[in-house]
Structure 1
Amino acid sequence: MTRKFTENRILIATHNAGKLAEMRQLFAPHGVEVVGAAEMNLPEPEETETTFVGNARIKAHAAAKATGLPALADDSGIEVEALDNAPGVYTADWAETENGRDFVMAMTKTRNLLEEKNAPHPRRARFCATLVLAWPDGHDEVFEGKVNGTLVWPMRGEEGHGYDPMFQPDGHEVTFAEMDAEQKNSISHRADAFAKLIAGCFG
């Protein structure tokens, strides 16, 4: 039986302002006050797991324990079929540089690896998101979402973030980066996981 959410405040265990704004928007209809990790001066815990759920659990439990609030964390990334589902949990790592994250570099690396392998078209990929809602008593609930699509090159679109400019979701003629936020948020991997969270804990 999924535990129901009965509190009126939730901590989003992220320092990413864009992700926090997205979560505020998603929680708005449910009358829940959303606070971010940065507002609470929380450090970012080391993500030492090799799975999305493992890393999301680390972030959610650390935040719940530190603040006494229920905390929601997500871990997400892109899995490319022809690259044995890489970069997956290491999606952000592929973009790391000394001056912050460079996703154009990461997308270019991905494309070059596919070219080296002579990977056939269409080049299939999926975005995955895992949400973990943790309570201060150590209980948690896990919700997973995904969206399947094809990788395109050259990159297209100015919206979104991460790998959005090279990911064209199934059933659409445009990439995530060519969609406005509302359209993307209605079909994204995070929206899929979030709908399951709402149904499970708020329904």
Structure 2
Amino acid sequence: MTELLLATRNAKKLVELRRILEAAGVTGIEVLGLGDVPEFAEAPETGATFEDNALAKATDAARATGIAAVADDSGLEVDALNGMPGVLSARWSGKHGDDAGNLELLLGQLTDVPDERRGAAFVSAAALVRPDGAQTVVRGEWRGSVIAEQRGSNGFGYDPSFVPEGGTRTAAELSAEEKDADSHRGRALQQLLPALRELAG
């Protein structure tokens, strides 16, 4: 069994990666989280792009543990805000991980923006770094728009106000399986599958 470290403490992301590997029939990989390995110094996310941050996190994790590591960095790019909050999505309101505060601030900034200009994309960059230093970096995008209301309880972050293109439900109203099939992180992880299959041997 090959160990793979997902460099996160987010239990939902661990479940998601395990589900995607299982659905793709990838066997022989045991997915661990940061809680399963000895603590190490994690560099702050100071990259200018999602790719920079994902690669830095995965590199730190692989170097510290000697285990192949996957990390992702994701966020929401809103057209009317010139692509912001972007890499600042998790701390848009000033405090890291304040989902409610981040969403309230974003919706406040879009108050006077008409529906047709509320286009946005969830973006996820995922990086796989092996102990030998080999790197794979991929990017997934999920287009849609930001609505003024909040609906649903299945997601986190900006999900309750994000309606994917061609849909009527918010990302927080979709089932886990529907989200895996379409979401930015799901799309990025799908692109990593060939490298993960190779890792599994």
Q: Is TM (by shorter chain) over 0.5?
A: yes
What is the CA distance between 1:167 and its match in structure 2? 0.2
Match of 2:99 among 100, 103, 116: 103
- Residue 68 of structure 2 corresponds to 70
Match of 2:56 among 55, 58, 62: 58
- Map 1:1-203 → 2, pairs under 5 A: 8-28=2-22, 29-31=25-27, 32-43=29-40, 44-97=42-95, 101-115=97-111, 118-122=112-116, 123-202=118-197
Contact 2:2 / 2:30 at 8 angstroms: preserved in 1? yes
Contact 1:95 / 1:101 at 8 angstroms: preserved in 2? no
Contact 1:68 / 1:136 at 8 angstroms: preserved in 2? yes
Aligned-residue sequence identity (percent) comes to 39
Larger mean CA deviation between 36-45 and 131-140 belongs to 36-45
Contact 2:91 / 2:98 at 8 angstroms: preserved in 1? no
Q: 1:95 to 1:26 in 2, by over 3 A?
A: farther
TM-score (norm: length of structure 2): 0.90
**Equivalents in 2 of 1:95, 1:202: separation in Å?**
39
Contact 1:77 / 1:89 at 8 angstroms: preserved in 2? yes
**Secondary structure of the equivalent of 2:151?**
coil
**Equivalents in 2 of 1:40, 1:13: separation in Å?**
10
What is the CA distance between 1:101 and its match in structure 2? 2.8
TM-score (norm: length of structure 1): 0.89
**Secondary structure of the equivalent of 2:150?**
coil
Q: State the 4+ residue runs in structure 1 displaced beyond 4 angstroms.
A: none
CA RMSD of aligned residues (A): 1.7
Unpaired runs of 5+ in structure 2?
A: none
Q: 1:148 to 1:103 in 2, by over 3 A?
A: same
Instruction: State the Cα deviation string for residues 74-115 of structure 1 (Å, max 9, x = none).
Output: 000000000010000000011554xx6322221111111122
**Secondary structure of the equivalent of 2:92?**
helix
**Secondary structure of the equivalent of 1:15?**
coil
Number of residue pairs aligned between Structure 1 and Structure 2 = 193
Instruction: State the Cα deviation string for residues 31-77 of structure 1 (Å, max 9, x = none).
Output: 11111112103343311211101100111001101111110000000
Contact 1:80 / 1:124 at 8 angstroms: preserved in 2? yes
**Equivalents in 1 of 2:104, 2:149: separation in Å?**
9
**Equivalents in 2 of 1:73, 1:17: separation in Å?**
14
